[in-house]
Amino acid sequence: MLVDAEEKERLRLEMQQMQRRQLYFFMQMQEQIQAEAQRLVDRFYARQKARSQAIRKESDLREWSDLSVQVRLLRGQQVTIHWRKKIWYRSSRDGKLHFQTEHITKPKGSRDYKKALAKHATSVEYDDVMALEDRFAELREYARRIHRMQADLRKVSGQMDIALPKSERTGKESESAWAIQERIGNLIALLKYRLWPNESEADRQADFVPMLDGAAGVRQDVDPRKVRAAVDALMAAHAALLSAITG
């Protein structure tokens, strides 16, 4: 036959597999955005804590901050970053002050929360809050565009009859075994990059192991050759797993 059914099916499966990989790369991009946003939030909270301790120590009348930030990776695989504020009230049961939190609403027609935040940020934290919101606005836009690419890829895959099974479309909660091993391989590659982001092709050809990157979060007195051997063992183990799965 001019058109071979087996070849047609093999191409469909190969394209489906490439789509699967691309979707999980998109998911990792969202996770990186989430991690970056959470790092910024943690720094903000650390500064808030230091300021509140100074207020208690000095017993002065400076303003207290009522702001917090919620960073989430939704099941639809899109990062959301919301500012929240405390609403204080006095309990009728014990007479003490309590609070609940609610989202700060973005002004109509605005791309960020700066106008609303200007009403809630204390004078001491105002510059920090505005700088954070500038970065958060960028991260939200990154997340929105990546999510749009995910949706476009799924739409086109359906039109091409290479859509993934429903069990692989609902995020981490229902990842297939194949998807998990894909993530393991991607994470090992990311780990290697974080340890040696400036490693060159000449280094690899010469079998030279550079010092660990200062921002890797690893002690600098660690022998990079031992770390490389361990990473290589991880990569070899993953390759063996992939070989066993694929036959």
Give the predicted TM-score (pTM) of the model. 0.62
Say yes or no: 193 and 246 in one domain: yes
Q: Which residues contact residue 34 at a Cβ distance below 8 angstroms, ignoring those fewer than 6 apart? A: 71, 72, 73, 79
Higher pLDDT, 109 or 136: 136
Q: How far apart are CA 54 and CA 176, in angstroms?
A: 50
Residue 171, sorted as left (phi over 0), alpha (psi -120 to 50) or beta, turns out to be left
Among candidates 129, 109, 108, which has minimal Cα distance to 118? 129
As a whole number of angstroms, the distance between CA 146 and CA 143 comes to: 5
Asked if 105 and 208 sit in the same domain, the reply is no
Confidence class of residue 61 from pLDDT cuts 50, 70 and 90? very low
Residue 44 confidence (pLDDT): 92
CB atoms within 10 A of CB 142: 16
Domain co-membership, 81 together with 122: yes
pLDDT in tens, 176-217: 676 677 778 778 888 888 898 888 777 777 888 889 988 888
Length of the chain as a residue count: 247
Give the range of the structural domain holding residue 246, as residue numbers without chain letter: 176-247
Q: Residue 189: what pLDDT?
A: 81
If asked whether residues 39 and 142 sit together in one domain, one would say yes
47-56, 79-88, 126-135: lowest mean pLDDT where?
A: 47-56
Residue 120 lies in a domain: yes
Residue 7 lies in a domain: no
Strands 79-90 and 97-103: antiparallel
Does 99 share its domain with 197?
Answer: no
95/180 same-domain check: no
In-domain check, residue 61: yes
Closest alpha carbon to 16 in 109, 210, 188, 154:
154
Between CA 167 and CA 62 the distance in angstroms is 53
**Within a domain: residue 158?**
no
115 within domain boundaries:
yes
87/133 same-domain check: yes
How many other β-carbons are positioned within 10 Å of the β-carbon of residue 245? 10
pLDDT band at 166 (very low <50, low <70, confident <90, very high): low
**Domain shared by 184 and 138, yes or no:** no
The arrangement of strands across the sheet holding 79-90 comes to 67-73, 79-90, 97-103
116 & 42 share domain = yes
Question: CA 114, CA 133: separation in Å to the nearest integer?
Answer: 7
Burial class (CB in 10 A: 0-12, 13-18, 19+), 113: buried
Number of domains observed in the structure of the chain: 2
Alpha carbon 245 to its chain's center: 28
141 with 185, same domain: the answer is: no
Closest CA to 129 of 45, 7, 229, 237: 45
Contact, 106 vs 64, CB < 8 A? no
pLDDT tens by residue, 23-40: 888 888 999 999 999 999
99 and 181, same structural domain? no
Residue 157 lies in a domain: no
Tokens of 160: 């091409």
* 10-23 pLDDT tens trace: 888 888 888 888 88
**Structural domain contains residue 40:** yes
Confidence of residue 64 (pLDDT cuts 50, 70, 90): low
What is the structure's pLDDT at 138?
96
123 & 183 share domain: no
pLDDT in tens, 134-150: 999 999 999 999 999 98
The answer to whether residue 8 sits within a structural domain is no
